[in-house]
Amino acid sequence: MSKIVVDPITRIEGHLKVEVITEKGVVKDAHSSGMLFRGIEVILRGRDPRDAQRYTQRICGVCPTSHSIAATLNLDSAFGISDKIPNNGRFVRNLILGAAHIADHILHFYHLTALDYVDVTKVLNYDGNDPVLNSVKEFAKRGELAPFVPRYEGDYRLSDQINIEATAHYVKALEMRRKAQEMLTIFGGKMPHNMAVIPGGVTETVTVDKIASFLWRLNELRDFINNVYIPDVLAVAEAYSDYFEIGAGCGNLLSYGSFDLEGGNPDYTKRDRLLKQGTVSTDLKLGALDTNKIMEYVKHSWYADSSTGKHPTQGMTEPQPHKKGAYSWAKAPRYDGKVYEVGPLARVAATYASGEPTVKNLVDSVLSRFNASPKALFSVLGRHAARALYTKFVADSMPGWLLQLKPGEPAYIDYTIPDEAFGMGLVDGARGALGHWIEIKDKKIANYQCVVPSTWNLGPRDDKGQPGPVEQALLGTKIKDENNPYEIGRIVRSFDPCLACAIHVITPKGRTIGIYKVS
């Protein structure tokens, strides 16, 4: 039996540690630990409710936009104006969120994930005229390869030609994700941490020049998504097709949906959204979303046990750093007592299960290309494919929202802060289902709770001992080379973790397994 430690896991956001116990090279147990506590929810208590959008964006500088939308929907609902946001405000929010997701997913595939599959050093074999590739070759020839080495060796399978092309695309994608953020700032002001999304709508006004500028930046990004991003995902999938069978996970998916297609229904769980709300399991049947079924457990988290099993509206954040048996700063959210995965795969699966024709065609065409059943979606490559198809679906939907904007008409409605209120904001952020809950007393924040995608995906065991989605996805994985456990990074990154991670693979000879009980 061995225990593998990869610490830290890089190319993610935040601080996470995963420990894996292997027996005869197969993962028998896995622990995923969030390793950073800043306590934004604690810091929010007693503050002006409107400021929650500014603070919660700073939970994550990679996906701040999703937090700005969740916080703002939350405040809209607490202020009683969730069904009164002007259409301009709603469409601009959609455009800001869409731009953020395009930037995020390009970043994730090329800059966070690709180095697990693409061998940049093969650029040394390049003998063409492309100035970008030649500059990378010069860099590689100097031999100072940081930050591209050290890395896990032994399973780079792409041909030289594809490695070299993908290296050029890595560089191009740096430009594309930057341009997507620039597109966002046409309405959002700046990135990271946009300024415009606020309760009541948005601060920015709608003008024709902004619409045109946004549209043409979007066109350039759509070209890249269609002609570079999706083909590259498929090329990786062809060379690493065994990863359609690796990292299946818990088999339950949860989506809050995203992009409001109407603003009249104050209930976000029932509002018509481009990506659909609901639950999906391996049978691909859509279940209705009921937020009363969400509970957070902390038996294995560094928080007081008295705060376990609470709905987010009753949630508490009481740190207890040295608690026995705990191994993460993340809580363990559960839906109906069961383990659920969130992310692009979940929202694509929910939309697919709803029968939405465009998504159905996109997914079916990829599945048929690999001669795979929908079950193959529950895998490392399934997550990457869903993320890429989702990006295309959203980018293709954005011109329609741009053309519905009405220059000169308001994008904001004023309101008064109630003395006392509850609020809930639900959206699928880049990394999955994101919920914010607020309680207001005396016009101040009495309690604020965020249940974020990476808590769902990377959270620890719950009080019943059920491992979280990433922990389950690691279980049963064959580790070919314990000195180069590339399988672990590939599985963990397919979830697009938003924590700084540390994954551990330790040989237990002469070492105790550590502080975790292994059954």
State the Cα–Cα distance between residues 300 and 307, nearest whole angstrom: 12
Interacting residue with another protein among 191, 275, 421, 433 (CB under 8 A): 191
Centre a 10 Å sphere on the Cβ of residue 262 and count the other Cβ atoms it contains.
11
Instruction: Using the minimum distance from each CB to another protein, give the nearer residue, 2 or 351.
Output: 2
| Member of 106, 196, 218, 479 binding another protein (CB under 8 A) | 196
DSSP secondary structure, 201-245, as one string: EESSPP-HHHHHHHHHHHHHHHHHIIIIIHHHHHHHHHHTGGGGS
Report yes or no: 503 and 6 within 8 Å, Cβ to Cβ. yes
Q: How many residues bind another protein (CB under 8 A)?
A: 91
The 10 Å Cβ neighbour count of residue 506 is 20
Active site residue 300: no
Reported residue count of the chain is 519
Closer of 185 and 314 to another protein (Cβ): 185
Q: Does 84 bind another protein (CB under 8 A)?
A: no
Q: Does 47 bind another protein (CB under 8 A)?
A: yes
How far apart, in whole angstroms, are the C-alpha atoms of residue 269 and residue 277?
7
Cα dihedral 486, 488, 493, 495 in deg (nearest 10): 150
Integer Cα distance of 190 and 194 in angstroms: 5
* 450 among known catalytic residues: no
Q: Active-site residue among 11, 13, 165, 439?
A: 13
Which of 127, 129, 146, 209 contacts another protein by CB under 8 A?
Answer: 146
Smallest separation, CB 321 to another protein (Å): 5
Residues 6 or more apart in contact with residue 74 via CB below 8 angstroms? 52, 423, 424, 425, 436, 437, 438
Site string for another protein, 116-135 (x = CB under 8 A): ----x-----------x--x
Selected range binding another protein among 105-113, 249-257, 381-389, 470-478, rule: CB under 8 A: 105-113
* 305 lies in the site for another protein, by CB under 8 A: no
Please report whether residue 223 would count as binding another protein according to CB under 8 A: no
Q: Is residue 105 a contact point for another protein (CB under 8 A)?
A: no
What ranges in 336-459 are assigned the alpha helix state H? 344-353, 357-369, 380-404, 453-458
Which range in 180-188, 264-272, 341-349, 433-441 contacts another protein by CB under 8 A? 180-188
**Contact with another protein (CB under 8 A): which of 151, 323, 338, 375?**
151
Shorter beta-carbon distance to another protein: residue 107 or 363: 107
Nearest alpha-carbon partner for 79 in 37, 48, 119, 39: 48
- Among 203, 313, 397, 466, the residue binding another protein under the rule CB under 8 A is 203
User: Is residue 5 a contact residue for another protein (CB under 8 A)?
Assistant: yes
Based on CB atoms, which residue is closest to another protein, 303 or 393?
303
Which H/E stretch holds residue 261? none
Active site residue 498: yes
Residue 67 bears catalytic tag: yes
Cβ-Cβ contacts under 8 Å for 434 (sequence gap 6 or more):
66, 67, 70, 256, 426, 427, 428, 450, 451, 452, 453
Q: Which of 20, 27, 60, 421 binds another protein (CB under 8 A)?
A: 60
* 326 burial level (CB within 10 Å; 0-12, 13-18, 19+): buried
Active site residue 82: no
**Nearest approach, Cβ of 338 to another protein (angstroms)?**
30
- Phi, psi angle pair for 255, to nearest 5°: -130, 140
Among 24, 127, 129, 142, binds another protein (CB under 8 A): 142
The amino acid that residue 33 corresponds to is S
Regarding 36 and contact with another protein (CB under 8 A), the answer is: yes
Rounded Cα distance, 358 and 102, in Å? 18
Least Å distance, CB 60 to another protein, is: 5
> Could you say whether residue 411 binds another protein (CB under 8 A)?
yes
Smallest distance from another protein to CB 501, Å: 8
- Asked if 324 interacts with another protein (CB under 8 A), we say no
CA–CA gap between residue 295 and residue 315 (Å, rounded): 9
Residue 63 bears catalytic tag? yes
148 neighbors 171 (Cβ within 8 angstroms): no
Which of 19, 63, 169, 436 is the catalytic position?
63
**Closest CB to another protein among residues 164, 411:** 411
Assign 259 to helix, strand or coil: strand
Nearest distance, CB of residue 13 and another protein, angstroms: 5
518 binds another protein, rule: CB under 8 A: no
Q: Does 364 bind another protein (CB under 8 A)?
A: no
Catalytic residues: 13, 60, 63, 67, 431, 454, 498, 501
